[in-house]
């Protein structure tokens, strides 16, 4: 019997996390559940940094970026002693079930803890990387994509004016989807992502033939996690090999993680927040709420975190076609 739930945000923040906190809180209250917010992710769980949430406490946050509960990456929670302390804090606060809003790391932590202690966890995927298996969509990705496109359009203006080649680094330590889709949206000439090596050949072709023949500017999107080592390193190599080219680097950084969530991120965060409470009331546990083909789906944590989210090769093909 669930009487009181906790909700928290964990890992890298993502625009729309607040919308999810609001939806979880309000859906729980409508179903006569009490709600506790845990501040600062798993670290706050270990330290008992809890706050009671009423419907009015989540008023006015729907449109705000970041997370009102703050977030953290907690090394202590990776230890058995840290998780034991976290469990004791949950018991003390009489929490019967937990909703975790985060990415693959956060769900791995939830899976480990639910194997050790009898407490149900439901996950809501929120990461700008959109790298979770079993869902087409993670909260924050759409907003980040639009932020990248807005920034790169501006870079294109100055690149064209000077006839320069820009290496633009986009976030994604292990995931290239944001670089790939923003690259397509901005008409990038080349896109370098960790999931595919082939694009380095495209870069060589572009530098040797394409640029010199017909281009007035070049945008090379580089995912942070590309194996050649990020935009700085690649640009340095290109400068050495092609001293005639005017090369610049722009690392977009954490502006990609901030800002007011797009309408789609708000709507999907609200849908997933409500679905998370419904899943708990339906006695589900260790389950991620996802959205596939625009429908809510339930994906067991062990699948969501262990299976790889692959890149759609069609997107790579489409990009290639545009730059023939
Ligand atoms: N294998 C694990 N065991 C226990 N906790 C984990 C594990 N992996 C991740 N976590 C917890 O989840 C937190 C968030 O994970 P992280 O990978 O940083 O972000 P995200 O959830 O956005 O992918 C970590 O700081 C850690 O506290
Ligand atoms: O904010 P930090 O700690 O520098 O982390 C940067 C990383 O976080 C992300 O923005 C989001 O990743 P997670 O959602 O897995 O936390 C990655 O794209 C990036 O590599
Ligand atoms: Mg992650």
Q: Which atom of ligand 2 sits closest to the CA of residue 131?
A: 15
* DSSP letter (8 states) at residue 261: P
Q: Give the number of whichever ligand sits closest to the CA of residue 129.
A: 2
* CA of 147, nearest ligand number: 2
Confidence category of residue 303, pLDDT binned at 50, 70, 90: very high
| 213 has a pLDDT exceeding 70 | no
With beta carbons less than 8 A apart as the criterion, state whether 156 and 172 touch: no
Asked whether the predicted pLDDT for residue 263 surpasses 90, the reply is yes
Residue 283 annotated in active site: no
173 — pLDDT class (breaks 50, 70, 90): confident
Reported as a single tens digit per residue, the pLDDT across 79-130 is 999 999 999 999 999 999 999 999 999 999 999 999 999 999 999 999 999 9
What residue has token string 């906790």?
A: 6
The more confident residue out of 5 and 244 is 5
Could you give the ipTM of this predicted complex? 0.97
Tell me the two tokens of residue 299.
């994906």
The closest residue, in CA terms, to atom 6 on ligand 1 is 109
pLDDT at residue 226, rounded to an integer = 78
Q: Is the pLDDT of residue 286 over 70?
A: yes
Calculate mean pLDDT across residues 174-184.
95
Q: In the predicted model, is pLDDT for residue 209 greater than 80?
A: no
Decide: 54 in ligand 2 pocket, CB within 6 A: no
Strand ranges for the chain from DSSP E: 4-9, 34-38, 50-52, 97-102, 121-125, 165-170, 190-192, 218-223, 247-251, 287-292, 295-300
Tokens of 296: 């809510």
Beta bridge partners of 139: 126
Q: Where are the beta strands (DSSP E) in 90-139?
A: 97-102, 121-125
State in Å: Cα 210 to ligand 3 middle.
36
Query: Is 233's pLDDT higher than 70?
Result: yes
**Contact 137/188 with Cβ under 8 angstroms?**
no
3-state class of 74 per DSSP? coil
pLDDT score for 7: 99
- Between vectors from CA 12 to CA 105 and to CA 154, what angle results, nearest 5°? 135
List, in order of start, the domains of the chain with CATH numbers.
4-140+261-306 (3.40.50.450), 142-257 (3.40.50.460)
Return the SS3 of 296: strand
Rounded mean pLDDT, 23-43: 98
Percent over 70 (pLDDT), the chain: 98
Q: Give residues with Cβ within 8 angstroms of 121, minimum separation 6.
A: 97, 98, 99, 100, 110, 111, 113, 114, 285, 286, 301
Q: Residue 225: is its pLDDT beyond 90?
A: no
pLDDT (0 to 100) of residue 55? 98
Q: Which residues, chain by chain, have CB under 5 Å from ion ligand 3?
A: 103-105
**CA of 106, nearest ligand number:** 1
Question: CB within 6 Å of ligand 1 — which residues?
Answer: 10-12, 42, 73-74, 77-78, 102-106, 108-109, 112, 127
Tokens of 319: 């990009």
CA distances from 108 to 3, 189, 209 (A): 25, 37, 46
Question: Which residue CA neighbors atom 18 of ligand 2 most closely?
Answer: 172
Q: In the chain, pLDDT over 90 holds for what percent of residues?
A: 87
What pLDDT, on the 0 to 100 scale, is given for residue 210? 63
Which of 13, 75, 96, 129 is flagged as catalytic?
Answer: 129
Q: Assess whether pLDDT exceeds 90 at residue 41.
A: yes
Q: Residue 109 contacts by C-beta under 8 Å, 6 or more apart in sequence?
A: 10, 42, 77, 78, 100
Question: Where is the binding site for ADP, in residues?
Answer: 22-26, 156, 187-189, 213
CA torsion 89-95-97-100 (nearest 10°) is -50
Which band of pLDDT confidence, cut at 50, 70 and 90, is reported for residue 151?
very high
Chain-wide mean pLDDT for the chain?
Answer: 95
* Strand order, beta sheet including 165-170: 190-192, 218-223, 165-170, 247-251
Whole-angstrom CA distances from 118 to 77, 110, 124 are 17, 11, 20
């Amino acid at each position: 019997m669930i009487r009181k739930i906790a909700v928290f945000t964990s890992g890298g923040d993502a625009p729309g996390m607040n919308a999810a906190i609001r939806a979880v809180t309000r859906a729980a209250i409508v179903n006569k559940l009490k709600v506790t917010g845990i501040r600062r992710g798993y670290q706050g769980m270990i330290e008992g940094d809890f706050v009671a949430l009423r419907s009015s406490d989540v008023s006015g946050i729907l449109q705000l970026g970041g997370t009102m509960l703050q977030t953290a990456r907690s090394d202590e929670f990776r230890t058995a002693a840290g998780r034991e302390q976290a469990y004791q804090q949950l018991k003390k606060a009489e929490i019967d079930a937990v909703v975790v809003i985060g990415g693959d790391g956060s769900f791995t932590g939830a899976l480990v803890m639910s194997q050790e202690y009898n407490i149900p966890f439901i996950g809501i995927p929120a990461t700008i990387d959109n790298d979770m298996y079993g869902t087409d969509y993670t909260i924050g990705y759409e907003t980040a994509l639009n932020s990248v496109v807005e920034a790169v359009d501006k870079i294109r203006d100055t690149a064209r004016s000077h006839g320069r080649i820009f290496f633009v680094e986009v976030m994604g330590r292990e995931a290239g989807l944001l670089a790939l889709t923003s690259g397509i949206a901005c008409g990038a000439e080349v896109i370098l992502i960790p999931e595919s090596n082939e694009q380095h050949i495209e870069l060589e072709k572009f530098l040797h033939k394409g640029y010199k023949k017909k281009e007035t500017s070049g945008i090379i999107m580089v995912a942070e996690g590309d194996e050649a080592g990020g935009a700085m390193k690649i640009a340095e190599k290109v400068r050495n090999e092609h001293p005639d080219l005017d090369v610049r680097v722009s690392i977009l950084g954490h502006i990609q993680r901030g800002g007011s969530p797009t309408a789609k991120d708000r709507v999907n965060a609200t849908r997933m927040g409500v679905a998370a409470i419904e899943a708990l009331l339906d006695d589900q546990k260790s389950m991620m709420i996802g959205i596939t083909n625009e429908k809510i789906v339930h994906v067991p944590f062990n699948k969501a975190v262990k299976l790889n989210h692959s890149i759609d090769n069609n997107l790579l093909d489409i990009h290639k076609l545009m730059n023939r």
